[in-house]
Structure 1
């Protein structure tokens, strides 16, 4: 079965090193939380807001050991007025036996504001 695993983070500055670093941290946490190995990943889409253009975040995945051959595509997020600035979002499509409700989505830094409902679900499950 394939499932989508969501992740998002933000950067403080539109600088290549920071974009790569925060993307790498996000991908590693997404993989750890969901027990994802690179060979489980069908592909990943990475979107950025228009104020993040100093580097391709996909470079971070290519630099992670074992992730070199994972197909990744970067694109620009829709510029909705009032949306979260300097944001990097990932949609990773993986082969997994997990049910959709068991997938743990990852939101870091200012991106925790994007889907508080998903974070609340995880917290409730951890308290059980």
Structure 2
């Protein structure tokens, strides 16, 4: 097994605790499914949230789906003029047998714009 980093992001529709937590759970599940990961494969996860998201800690979403033994950290994303609003980014450190080129990064909803180089026309998200 090798340690790899997996990226992901999701843009939420509104800063509402249930909606934010559900959205973060969705991106986490998609990251885990796309990379065939179990909770035991997760080493740590770092979340960032844009300054306009204040209703909940993204890490609470991970805890709610059973990631109770994974070290989690939340941080504030830089407040850069013109940046994508209402966005949670994920950086997960994982144990995997996958080569770096085979790691699947997941960008959902409006966050697909963060990786327009990967997006497909009409797609609500992108996995690479």
Query: In structure 2, what is the Cα distance between the partners aligned to 1:100 and 1:106?
Result: 14
1:117 positional shift? 2.4
The equivalent of 1:123 in structure 2 is none
Contact persistence 2:113–2:119 (CA under 8 A): no
Query: In structure 2, what is the Cα distance between the partners aligned to 1:96 and 1:116?
Result: 26
Consecutive unaligned residues in structure 2, runs of 5 or more: 121-127
1:119 positional shift? 4.5
Q: Is the partner of 2:30 in helix, strand or coil?
A: helix
Query: In structure 1, what is the Cα distance between the partners aligned to 2:118 and 2:97?
Result: 20
The equivalent of 1:37 in structure 2 is 38
The equivalent of 2:68 in structure 1 is 68
The equivalent of 1:77 in structure 2 is 77
The equivalent of 1:18 in structure 2 is 19
Query: In structure 2, what is the Cα distance between the partners aligned to 1:18 and 1:90?
Result: 17
Contact persistence 2:27–2:108 (CA under 8 A): yes
Query: Structure 2 length as normaliser, TM-score?
Result: 0.89
Q: 1:39-85: per-residue Cα shift (whole Å, max 9, x none)? A: 111100000000011100111111113x1111110000011110100
Contact persistence 1:105–1:118 (CA under 8 A): no
Aligned residues: 120
1:3 aligns with 2:4: yes
Query: In structure 2, what is the Cα distance between the partners aligned to 1:114 and 1:10?
Result: 10
Structure whose residues are more often helix by fraction:
1
Q: Is the partner of 1:28 in helix, strand or coil?
A: helix
Query: Structure 1 length as normaliser, TM-score?
Result: 0.89
Across the aligned residues of Structure 1 and Structure 2, the Cα RMSD in angstroms comes to: 1.4
Q: 1:14-63: per-residue Cα shift (whole Å, max 9, x none)? A: 11111100000000000000001111111000000000111001111111
